Amino acid sequence: MAEERFTNIKEILDGQHTGKEIGIRGWVHRTRNIGKMVFLNVRDPTGVVQAMVSSDAVESFEEVKALLVESSVKLQGEVIEDKRAPGGFEIRVSDIEIVHAADVFPIQEDQSVEHLLENRHLWLRSTYMRDILTVRSTVFGAIHEYFRDNGYKEFQSPILTPLACEGGSTLFPVDYFDDEVYLAQSWQLYAEAAIFGLGNIYTIAPSFRAEKSRTSRHLTEYWHAEVEAPWLQFDELLELAEGMVCHVTKKVLEQDADEIKNLREGDIEYLEKVKPPFHRITYEEAISILQKSGMDVEYGADLGTPHERELTKIYDKPVFVTHYPKEIKAFYMKRAEDDSKVLGFDLLVPNVGELIGGSERETSIDSLEERLKEEDEDTSIYSWFLDTRRYGSVPHAGFGLGVERLVMWLCDLEHIRDAIPFPRTPSRYRP
RNA sequence: GCCGUCGUAGCUCAGUGGUAGAGCACUCGGCUGUUAACCGAGCGGUCACCGGUUCGAAUCCGGUCGACGGCGCCA
């Protein structure tokens, strides 16, 4: 190449270089071969532009003619505005360097879900995955930003842990020098110990669930955004969750408008309405609403997928469901004034269901021990955790959010596996 | 854990008892304005695996494996 200066393809498509001699580098997205002319659609992370290579303009014409899809190239030429070219602009190539002539690319137009998952490492090159992963990056950044701006410190807990947290059958066992430990499924119990020193804290960390959940909303390895704060009351907890979801949504709409429009087929009206306050209903109200709309549910049963779907259909925004009966929620949730209910909530959104689950935490050591025994947990393993209720126990609260579920909801994805680069599900751990 | 669908060429699929097929991809030939280019030719198979029924099985039966979809469980 005569000159080693390159521009982003998006700038060409925006008309910033029309009439000028420029260079680009990228990958061959598609080729069309007309004898003494070759059209290369060239992709970089910002877009796709057509390059026209004529036999009388380029010495290496025969090699260019033989290029296969996903070959990497550097090229330069004049940018011409031309309605015949896809995107309206074309580069008349004067010089081209073949960086690497690719083998036959395994992914073509017709693709099955399975084939794309087997070739996930190559499918990451698609516009679809690029758009999602761009949004995902913004989501992670926005979560950090929200908590830090609100005075929360980032705190890390161990991934290897002896704790079961919410029932032992859902953990991945790991051989720890002949002892059995588990991959963590939550940061929460360690966080409850940390708030006594640090105050308000949060994390974004991997969590692992060994449940064989065969649904479009479950991963065995997912990223878990969790928060824990001393003195925080139940209504403040809901506001914190609401604020975070709104902040992330706003940030994504600002920063990734193009990607979101691509992924949601232009439908961003719903996301633009995501502003406080969200709807708040109690479990009891939810049951009665569902019964009125003809669904078969009894008080005391946990809300199933069809029930959650029905509830999210009724409201134009995410909806909090609060005050569940204690029997269907985790041992660490604080009892409400009505002793049969807990100060816990789920935040439900369309297409995903439960996006966040959280609660005020039980502060009484006696209640905790009682609940652990009821669930046949070995209380000795929890003795360090119970210390948090022995030395200056305080009211506190927190929640956990599935980051992939948030991405799935924002991007309106059919399946959560597309919200993470290399998904892990009960039936897949490759590539 | 439960229910269901599927497995045939590199990819997407057709083929319901009688010699294994198509489109795309790839290779070769043609074409100076293509838009998932087009035209002609070629290459390409352990019909997932094991067993059974039958003169004969991709096809029917039993089992195994794998993937996908849904429920439950959860974030």
Q: pLDDT tens for residues A26-40?
A: 999 999 999 899 999
Average pLDDT over residues A335-347: 94
- Using alpha carbons, select from A79, A58, A78, A398 the residue that is nearest to residue A227: A398
Kindly state the average pLDDT of the residues A82-103. 94
Q: Taking the CB of residue A141, how many other CB atoms lie within 10 A of it?
A: 14
Distance CA A431, CA A424 (A): 9
Residues 79-108 of A with CB under 7 A from strand B: 82, 84-86, 90, 92, 104, 106, 108
- Looking at residue A375, its pLDDT comes to 75
Of A311, A322, A323, A324, nearest to A352 by C-alpha is A311
A203 touches strand B (CB under 7 A): no
Q: How far apart are CA A336 and CA A326, in angstroms?
A: 9
In A184-339, which residue ranges form alpha helices assigned H by DSSP?
188-198, 234-255, 257-263, 269-272, 283-292, 305-314
Residues A360 and A237: their CA atoms lie apart, in Å, by: 8
> How do beta strands A72-81 and A21-33 pair?
antiparallel
- Given a cut of 60, is residue A274 above it in pLDDT? yes
Question: Within window 113-172 on A, which residues have Cβ closer than 7 Å to strand B?
Answer: 113-115, 117, 166, 170
Kindly provide the ipTM of the predicted complex, given to two decimals: 0.89
Q: What pLDDT sits at residue A41?
A: 95
Q: What angle do CA A398, A319, A143 make, to 5 degrees?
A: 45
- Closest Cα partner for A13 from A105, A107, A99, A79? A79
Nucleotides of chain B touched by protein CB (<7 A): 1-3, 10-13, 23-28, 30-38, 66-75
**A32 CB-to-strand B distance under 7 Å:** yes
Protein CA A104 to sugar C1' B43 (Å): 15
Q: Which residue is nearest to nucleotide B27 (CA to C1')?
A: A66
pLDDT for position A169: 60
pLDDT score of A366 more than 70: yes
Sign of CA dihedral A112, A118, A120, A126: negative
The answer on pLDDT for A73 being more than 90 is yes
Question: Are the beta carbons of A43 and A29 closer than 8 angstroms?
Answer: yes
Q: What is the pLDDT of residue A355?
A: 97
Q: State yes or no: pLDDT of A180 exceeds 80.
A: yes
Question: Does nucleic acid strand B have an atom less than 7 angstroms from the CB of A355?
Answer: yes
Structure tokens at A24: 């680009």
| CA→C1' distance for A431 and B49 (Å) | 24
Q: Using alpha carbons, select from A164, A223, A102 the residue that is nearest to residue A378.
A: A164
Place of tokens 């070959």: A71
pLDDT at A4 over 80: no
Element (H, E) at A99: strand A89-100
Is the CB of A420 within 7 Å of strand B? Answer: no
Regarding pTM above 0.90, the answer is: yes
CA to C1' distance (Å), from A134 to B68: 27
Query: For residue A119, what pLDDT is reported?
Result: 93
In three-state secondary structure terms, A321 is: strand
- A77 CB neighbours strand B below 7 A: no
Task: List the single range of A237-241, A249-253, A314-318 with lowest mean pLDDT.
Answer: A314-318
Identify, with chain letter, the residue nearest to nucleotide B67 (CA–C1').
Answer: A114
**Residue A1's pLDDT is what?**
62
Interval A204-232 mean pLDDT: 95
d(CA A326, CA A348): 19
| A430 CB less than 7 Å from any atom of strand B | no
Average pLDDT, stretch A115-120? 93
Confidence of residue A69 (pLDDT cuts 50, 70, 90): very high
Q: What is the mean pLDDT of residues A252-259?
A: 96
pLDDT at residue number A166: 56
pLDDT at A223 over 60: yes
Rg over CA atoms, chain A: 27
| Residue A168 scores a pLDDT above 60 | no
Q: Is the pLDDT of residue A3 over 70?
A: no
Question: pLDDT above 90 covers what percent of chain A?
Answer: 82
Cβ-based neighbour number of residue A307 at 10 Å: 22
Cα–Cα distances in angstroms (integers) from residue A257 to residues A13, A37, A129, A409, in the given order: 17, 37, 15, 15
User: Would the Cβ of A380 be found within 7 angstroms of any atom in strand B?
Assistant: no
Reported confidence tier of residue A80, pLDDT bands at 50, 70, 90: very high
